[in-house]
Amino acid sequence: MEFLIRSAQIIDKSSSFHLQHKDLLISNGIIKTIADNIEYEGQIIEADGLCVSIGWMDMRAHYQDPGNEHKEDLESGAAVSASGGFTDVLLLPNTSPVISSKNAVSYYHKWNKSSAVQLHPMAALTLGCEGKELTEMIDLHTAGAQAFSDGLRPVWHSDIMLKGLQYLQKFNGLLINKAEDEMLSSFGHMNEGKVSTLMGLKGIPVLAETLMIQRDLNLLEYTGGRLHISLVSSGEGLELIRVAKKKGLNVTCDVGVNYLKFTDEDLQDYDTSLKVSPPYRTETDRMALLDGILDGTVDCLVSDHIPHDEESKKLEFDLADFGSSNQQTFFGVVSEALGDSLFDSIELFTSKPRKLLQLRVPQIKEGESACLTLFNNDEWTMNDHTNKSKSVASPLFGQTIKGKVLGIINNGQLVLNDI
């Protein structure tokens, strides 16, 4: 297969072509030529304002497969990822059964042989993601697990957290934890504050996040190792991480892209697609997260794609499940939030996640395998036609979004969007 990408602006700070407009000839999955004007008579991909970067990576998504394929399976999940611009996805371990065996890890690696979207399984840190007993992490690492976490659940047991950090040092493994004290967040449905009081809903305090972050940072300082704190939602939580980094602790963090757009004020219509965990916080927190991106405290941006069927979301707000479908709208949200800083921050979902996971970072260079995402600033609408997910629980469903993914190139395949 051979095709030409015509006059695309290359967005890759590590490339000598960064911000330049070039033609790229792709042949049999390899970047054959990069030049100003390539004469070519085969398939040509061109669009107004076309940009190309290395393939995007999402460090937090849940395909629900195996176990809940009616919500999302590998096929629909990969279609969503491709439409959202992602060539690589780190998957949460909270499947049924959880990802805690070699066979469970190999299930995803078998899929990768024929897919443009490469799936990287995150193995469970504890058996059943219950926080009571560690899994066989060395065996899982050898089988191809990229990181260790209890995923949707925090590691609540302090001694298990400590031993996990120690054990993973044997192979420089990464422990990912969700910052949540479940004793403080239990029965809560949204951010604790003025809005939750007015809505008559039990709130989840910021303290549930900061207590867990502080505990994990104390354990990290005591044991060493590599810790990644996922889905930081508050300015207070981010400040704890900022201080820890200045102290030299080996800690990183990510922020869900929708936390750059929504606040607890947006929940006043009781839209269950906005019920997420951790909850959307205040405008002050939203601005603090943006500041954390610009000053380098935030290491990665993730979609936190947690798809649900209608039976799980079309309920009273306090009965609905946490989570929403976010991968397809990721680029539109990040474009709006970051504005002129977008190109400077694109490494948060390209190179930085791969470096954290010790994966090879693709290059936009002649002779290299083509792992690319194509995009521009066009508008599109999220609706029944464009939605690739089995879930319709998107807070942007029915809305026009500015920032469009045109396709991905990976594993010798070209996948163009029809949105």
pLDDT tens sequence across 356-410: 999 999 999 999 999 999 999 999 999 999 999 999 999 999 999 999 999 999 9
Of 177, 185, 243, 234, the C-alpha closest to 210 is 234
Residues near 332 by beta carbon (within 8 Å), at least 6 away in sequence = 380, 396, 401, 402, 403, 404
Supply 164's token pair: 């996990």
pLDDT tens sequence across 185-227: 999 999 999 999 999 999 999 999 999 999 999 999 999 999 9
Supply 229's token pair: 């704190």
Per-residue pLDDT, 127: 96
Under a CB-based contact definition with an 8 Å cutoff, are residues 219 and 347 in contact?
Answer: no
Residues near 1 by beta carbon (within 8 Å), at least 6 away in sequence = 26, 27, 28, 29, 412, 413, 414
pLDDT tens sequence across 87-129: 999 999 999 999 999 999 999 999 999 999 999 999 999 999 9
- Supply the mean pLDDT for the chain: 96
Dist CA 135 CA 376 (whole Å): 43
pLDDT tens sequence across 254-265: 999 999 999 999
pLDDT tens sequence across 276-333: 999 999 999 999 999 999 999 999 999 999 999 999 999 999 999 999 999 999 999 9
Q: What are the chain's domains?
A: 2-52+365-379+400-416 (2.30.40.10), 56-356 (3.20.20.140)
| 304 catalytic per annotation | yes
Confidence of residue 419 (pLDDT cuts 50, 70, 90): low
Residues near 32 by beta carbon (within 8 Å), at least 6 away in sequence = 2, 25, 26, 366
Instruction: Fill in the amino acid letter for 165.
Output: L
Residue 216: CB atoms within 10 A of its CB come to: 25
Dist CA 82 CA 43 (whole Å): 20
Confidence of residue 418 (pLDDT cuts 50, 70, 90): confident
The residue whose two tokens read 């066009």 is 378
Longest dimension (CA), the chain: 65
Dist CA 190 CA 316 (whole Å): 13
Confidence of residue 51 (pLDDT cuts 50, 70, 90): very high
Under a CB-based contact definition with an 8 Å cutoff, are residues 260 and 233 in contact?
Answer: no
pLDDT tens sequence across 4-37: 999 999 999 999 999 999 999 999 999 999 999 9
Instruction: Fill in the amino acid letter for 221.
Output: E
The residue whose two tokens read 């879930």 is 391
The CA R_g of the chain, rounded to the nearest whole Å, is 21
Supply 76's token pair: 């629909």
On the 0-12 / 13-18 / 19+ scale of CB atoms within 10 A, 373 is buried
Residue 200: CB atoms within 10 A of its CB come to: 8
Per-residue pLDDT, 1: 87
Q: What angle do CA 151, 141, 70 make, to 5 degrees?
A: 40
pLDDT tens sequence across 230-249: 999 999 999 999 999 999 99
Supply 416's token pair: 């163009």
Dist CA 386 CA 419 (whole Å): 5
Of 339, 182, 362, 197, the C-alpha closest to 260 is 339
pLDDT tens sequence across 132-173: 999 999 999 999 999 999 999 999 999 999 999 999 999 999
Dist CA 254 CA 59 (whole Å): 8
Tell me: pLDDT of 342 over 70. Answer: yes
Which residue out of 299, 304, 344, 384 is catalytically annotated?
304
